Chains A and B, each alone.
Chain A
């Protein structure tokens, strides 16, 4: 059974600081997703990582994937308040990796 662990589950940081969210998973997969969820809202797709060593960046967020270590990271650079949200990683399994197993999410709060 595929297990996905995120840490930390809660992250409070000051504006302008950097931090990294970690996502470990238990079985081989070559498809990992990062989603953002604002309170009371649905999930917004941020990144899809398809291969070992993949790195994607959008604004102050950068995601990477190490399939050998079964580890993905989401790095936040110079955080701003607008980044406050819950971030989920999800790992694909099944044919074509259609079945997503989610981590428990990281609640990020960026304080002025």
Chain B
């Protein structure tokens, strides 16, 4: 079946612009996660959604980062006023429920000029 789908696959933007990254989880998966992968920091947890519960936003690095999940399915990660240190690969994952293996999308490679 279809895996986790992320778009765009690559995004290049100028410093100070806002960007939106999209994640379409595996159908039926109630848990959705965002991670960031960069050379300096490795893989970092950003945010977790589970059903209609309040998300765990503890990994968001600053208030420029926000995410929402509409209708318990598609999620959007928004970065406002991008900075060069935001350059990274942003990975989305989903699982059938919390604690089950997380299935990752191919990621969005974000480059800030």
Interface residues of A (CB under 8 A from B): 31, 33, 35, 41-45, 48, 88, 90, 92, 94-105
B104 and A97 form a contact (CB under 8 A): no
Q: Which of A42, A95, A99 contacts B104 (CB 8 A)?
A: A42
- B residues engaging A (CB < 8 A)? 31, 33, 35, 42-45, 48, 50, 56, 58-59, 91, 93, 95, 97-107
A94 to B95, CA, bound (A): 15
Q: A98-B33, A99-B58, A103-B42 are in contact. List 7 more A-B contacts (CB 8 A).
A: A41-B106, A45-B101, A48-B100, A96-B99, A97-B99, A99-B45, A99-B59
Q: What number of A-B contacts does a CB cutoff of 8 Å give?
A: 56
**A67 to chain B: closest CB distance in Å?**
15
Question: Cα distance A95–B54 when bound, in Å?
Answer: 13
A99 and B48 contact, CB distance less than 8 A: yes
Given the complex of chains A and B, what is the CA–CA distance between A42 and B9 in angstroms? Answer: 12
Report how far A45 CA is from B98 CA in the complex, Å.
15
Compute how far the CA of A105 lies from the CA of B38 in the bound complex, rounded to whole angstroms. 12
- Residue in B43, B50, B107 whose CB lies within 8 Å of A98: B50
Point out the residues of chain A lying under 8 angstroms from B103, CB to CB.
45
Interface pair B98/A42, CB less than 8 Å apart: no
